[in-house]
Chain A
Amino acid sequence: MSLVIQNLTKIYGEQKAINNISFTVQTGEIVGFLGPNGAGKSSTMKIATCYLPPTSGRVLVGGFDVVEQPMLVKQITGYLPEHNPLYLDLYVHEYLSFIGGLYGLRGARLKDRTLEMIELCGLTNEQNKRIETLSKGYRQRVGLAQALLHDPKVLILDEPTSGLDPNQLVEIRKLIKDISRNKTVIFSTHIMQEVQALCDRVVVINKGELVADDTLTNLLRRDGKGITLLAEFEGNVTAQQLSALKGVRQVTVVEGSKFRIATDGETDLRPEIFRFAADNNLSLIGLKQEESSLENIFRELTAQDPTMP
């Protein structure tokens, strides 16, 4: 069950929200959908879930067109809308049964699926509470459980981790990873680490235009960008010594004996640097991989207008 977006354009009144974008999410793939706020991510997802119609272009979910066969599309899609709307006055199990009923689940099967989802999403202790009493993290789990209840083939998650604390973030990410086996998943996010942790591929849009559609490693390698290491030594080291190491592209001095080492990204240079320090009788007092590389790429791709000075 793939998700195919062909030449999709969406215009609200005068404003062009999405401008002729095309990409495909293959069966079994997890794709991260990135872009700054207002880039058109949510609009794309709303079109793919039959909430809004496209102005032009086509969206096929599992081979069904969202305009011509919305019922079939809705039946195989699980959707977590942005801000995760829920019926706050319902109890967790009651809410899930209601949603299951909408998908045509009945009787024992509905009961089984509801229990299964409650367990899978870690809601066992919360199932008899009203949704309004739950914390944000648990509400997010209810939202995910709701999207997964009918065992959809395609999952569309709009910012599933926004507003969560770091612990909840890790838990929800793990949950998404666990449930996404054998499913086609597309989710939008602002958090780069999340993309690194979950995705096979990244699609980046900016101001309604597609600016990147590639695997993570390719994106990192693009424009000669590799992984950057920060190394700090005790003792005298020169940049030339470090440059001689295999796989180093560029070395810049940050201050004193602290260096920023750009690598080609092919191999992990950290063991090499450690050995270098040992061989030269130096103490390596700091070594870390710079996390910002993906964020830099994101910033570069989505800069307000790259052609302007």
Chain B
Amino acid sequence: MLQVLSKEFNSFLNSLIAYVVIGVFLLSMGLLVWVFPETSVLDYGYADMETLFSVGPYVFIFLVPAITMRSFAEEKKAGTLELLFTKPLTDWDILLGKYFASLLLVWFALIPTLVYYYSIYRLGNPVGNIDTAGVMGSYIGLALLAAVFCAVGIFASGITPNQIVAFIVAAFLSFVVFSGFDALSTLEFWSANALRVKQLGLLFHYESMSRGLIDARDVVYFISVIFLMLSITKLILGSRQW
């Protein structure tokens, strides 16, 4: 698995993908958090990182599929998947290698934003007047959210040899699992069970984490969505054997 991971990660670094993704993410976050008055911390006047954590997921919905769309789709098209499957690797080796390579890249993009935390910590009045627990919880939530989006992206890439289809399916699915259930819960139809419907979506669990409370139920929820997506992908990869 490690060979596949390092090869995938290296090809991100050797192509423009890594730099474009990290660059675009940091540029858009930087502008939103510090420059545009609508969302800027400086204009808002409160020492918190709400902007990063509320807009971050929507940026990820577009960026993560851009990273994952090539992983299986490209290899299917080029025929190199046959090469990998005839090497002494299990399907899980290939799948997890690709998954963790994408995930590492997304997490890499997240690391520089820790500087924001330091800046806001310094800017607080008095210095250090920031909800550190809430920020850390949100970071863990955002990292887990990225992990879910990567799993969704890998799945979308596994179902088609066309990268554009993979991108669109991944972006749409990510959006649905993130805030789709939240939107559904507002329908009159199941107003009695609105909370249950809401709990099916990522947003509910993500918000509960950003309050700084790491609840085992939320973590289990994130991990099970990841596991579910990867298992379906494994099934699709294995379907050549049917």
Contact = CB atoms under 8 A, between A and B. Distances in A.
Interface of A: 46, 49-53, 71, 74-75, 77, 79, 81, 83, 85-90, 98-99, 101-104, 146
A102 B89 contact: yes
Interface of B: 3-4, 7, 11, 14-15, 78-80, 82-90, 240-241
20 contacts: A49-B86, A50-B86, A51-B240, A52-B240, A53-B241, A71-B88, A71-B90, A75-B88, A81-B82, A81-B83, A83-B79, A85-B83, A98-B7, A99-B87, A101-B3, A102-B4, A102-B87, A103-B87, A103-B88, A146-B83
Given A46-B82, A102-B88, 11 more contacts: A51-B82, A71-B90, A75-B88, A77-B86, A79-B86, A81-B83, A85-B79, A86-B78, A88-B78, A101-B3, A102-B4
A71 B86 CA distance: 9
Nearest to A89: B11
Name which of B4, B85, B241 has the most chain A CB atoms within 10 A of its CB. B85
Contacts of A77: 86
A74 B86 contact: yes
A130 B79 CA distance: 18
Contacts of B15: 89
Question: Which label, helix, strand, loop or mixed, suits the secondary structure of the A interface?
Answer: loop
A51 B89 CA distance: 12
A83 B80 CA distance: 10
Name which of B15, B78, B82, B241 has the most chain A CB atoms within 10 A of its CB. B82
A146 B82 CA distance: 14
Given A89-B11, A90-B11, A74 B87 contact: yes
Contacts of B89: 102
Given A53-B241, A102-B3, A86 B86 contact: no
Contacts of A81: 79, 82-83, 86
A85 B82 contact: yes
Nearest to B242: A53
A87 B81 CA distance: 10
Contacts of B84: 102
Name which of B7, B89, B240 has the most chain A CB atoms within 10 A of its CB. B7
Contacts of B85: 50-51
Given A51-B86, A74-B88, A85 B78 contact: yes
Nearest to A104: B88
B153 to A, nearest CB: 20
A89 B78 contact: no
B19 to A, nearest CB: 15
A171 B89 CA distance: 32
A214 B87 CA distance: 31
A71 B4 CA distance: 17
Name which of A81, A101, A102 has the most chain B CB atoms within 10 A of its CB. A102
Name which of B7, B83, B85 has the most chain A CB atoms within 10 A of its CB. B83
Contacts of B78: 85-88
A50 B80 CA distance: 15
A187 B5 CA distance: 32
Contacts of B83: 79, 81, 85, 146
Shortest 6 CB-CB distances between A and B: which pairs? A85-B79, A101-B3, A74-B88, A85-B80, A49-B86, A102-B87
A266 to B, nearest CB: 44
A53 B240 CA distance: 9
Contacts of A74: 86-88
Nearest to A91: B14
Nearest to B93: A102
Contacts of A51: 82, 85-86, 240
B12 to A, nearest CB: 11
B3 A98 contact: yes
B152 to A, nearest CB: 25
Nearest to B14: A89
A160 to B, nearest CB: 15
Contacts of B3: 98, 101-102
A103 B93 CA distance: 13
